């Protein structure tokens, strides 16, 4: 389910690393050690709102959000899941899946717009990406 | 579809006004003139995460979020829809549906934790609630 005109927004490209391609979405890891944080981007060009997707695609999006949440939880226990679809700055349709821990760098405020990212070092990032891919496979259909 | 043990969180009760009861959710209007802002609360006791709902209930939740978004858009045109399920402060499961306008009081930051609510006066609130109920009926199944 890929739109041939789909291209990832340059800002998302810059801020994240690619984890996996699900049926509808690209799964990206936010390159920020402060929060366990995935971003799901449906591979559909020119969409900015969830209601731009067909009802079937919307259902698939939420299933993939659940899958990503489970993978994140398997890796890094958290106290509260934060889901958000904002797009005030990056208009390309994307959904944030963030594991929040009491006392984390933004707690209890939202992560969006909170301070500056602290990037993973290369080794830690590679290990995390591998574990995320395994967790997504394990919790997949 | 009501859980007999369900009771609305006191903070949500204080910050909002009741709009309508859908099949799964209570629809509430955030009493804040700065943003067109609805909150959907599934009538299920003791739930804090969307994945606590059954798959059927999750699907219904997202249908009702779409319904609420359409009702909001019919009333107050906006540039970008913001959806969020955070719950860092109020743990009772709830989903925010917020119409954002470029240049609004928090733009382009999230609305959560941004400044203080500016309450509707009684007449404006009553009129808005009536229009929201009509819009929800019109876009209903």
**pLDDT tens digits along B73-132:** 999 889 999 999 999 999 999 999 999 999 999 999 999 999 999 999 999 999 999 999
Who contacts A14 (Cβ-Cβ below 8 Å, separation ≥6)? Answer: none
* Torsion from C-alpha of B18, B105, B102, B98, nearest 10 degrees: -20
- The shortest CB-CB distance from B83 to any of A59, A84, A107 is to A84
* pLDDT bucket at A138, cuts 50 / 70 / 90: confident
Mean pLDDT score of chain A, rounded to an integer? 94
- Within an 8 Å CB–CB cutoff, is residue A141 touching chain B? no
Cα B50 to Cα B45: distance, rounded to the nearest angstrom: 13
Cα B117 to Cα B119: distance, rounded to the nearest angstrom: 6
Q: Is the pLDDT of residue A4 over 90?
A: no
Q: Which residues of B touch A97 (CB under 8 A)?
A: none
> Number of CB pairs < 8 Å for A and B?
86
- The shortest CB-CB distance from A82 to any of B59, B69, B86 is to B86
Please give the pLDDT value at position A1: 61
Closest-CA residue of chain B to A50: B66
Mark yes or no for CB contact B88/A70 under 8 Å.
no
Asked if ipTM goes beyond 0.90, one says yes
* pLDDT bucket at A141, cuts 50 / 70 / 90: low
Q: Which residues of B touch A69 (CB under 8 A)?
A: 51
Q: Is the pLDDT of residue B134 over 90?
A: yes
Cα A118 to Cα A104: distance, rounded to the nearest angstrom: 13
Please give the pLDDT value at position B111: 97
Cα A134 to Cα A74: distance, rounded to the nearest angstrom: 10
Q: Which residues of B touch A50 (CB under 8 A)?
A: 66, 81, 83
Question: What average pLDDT score do residues B15-27 get?
Answer: 97
- Within an 8 Å CB–CB cutoff, is residue B84 touching chain A? yes
Please give the pLDDT value at position A25: 98
- Within an 8 Å CB–CB cutoff, is residue A49 touching chain B? yes
Which of A11, A40, A52, A62 has the highest number of chain B CBs within 10 A, making it the mutation to test binding with B? A62
How close is the nearest chain B Cα to the Cα of A108, in Å?
5
Would you say B38 and B22 are in contact if contact means Cβ atoms under 8 Å apart? no
CA B108 to the chain's CA centroid? 20
Closest-CA residue of chain A to B55: A63
A97: nearest Cα among A43, A30, A39: A39
A14: nearest Cα among A49, A50, A42, A39: A39
pLDDT tens digits for range A14-70: 999 999 999 999 999 999 999 999 999 999 999 999 988 998 999 999 999 999 999
Please give the pLDDT value at position A2: 66
Please give the pLDDT value at position B115: 93
* pLDDT bucket at B138, cuts 50 / 70 / 90: confident
């Amino acid at each position: 389910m890929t739109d041939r005109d789909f291209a990832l927004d340059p800002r998302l490209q810059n801020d994240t690393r690619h984890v996996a391609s699900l049926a509808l979405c690209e799964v990206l890891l936010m390159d920020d050690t402060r929060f366990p944080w995935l971003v799901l981007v449906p591979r559909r060009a020119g969409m900015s709102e969830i209601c731009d997707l067909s009802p079937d695609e919307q259902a698939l999006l939420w299933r993939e959000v659940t899958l990503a949440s489970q993978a994140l939880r398997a890796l890094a226990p958290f106290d509260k899941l934060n889901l958000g679809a904002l797009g005030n700055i990056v208009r390309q349709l994307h959904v944030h899946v963030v594991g929040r821990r009491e006392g984390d760098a933004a707690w209890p405020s939202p992560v969006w717009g909170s301070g500056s990212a602290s990037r993973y070092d290369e080794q830690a990032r590679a290990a995390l990406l591998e574990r995320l891919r395994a967790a997504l496979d394990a919790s997949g259909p």
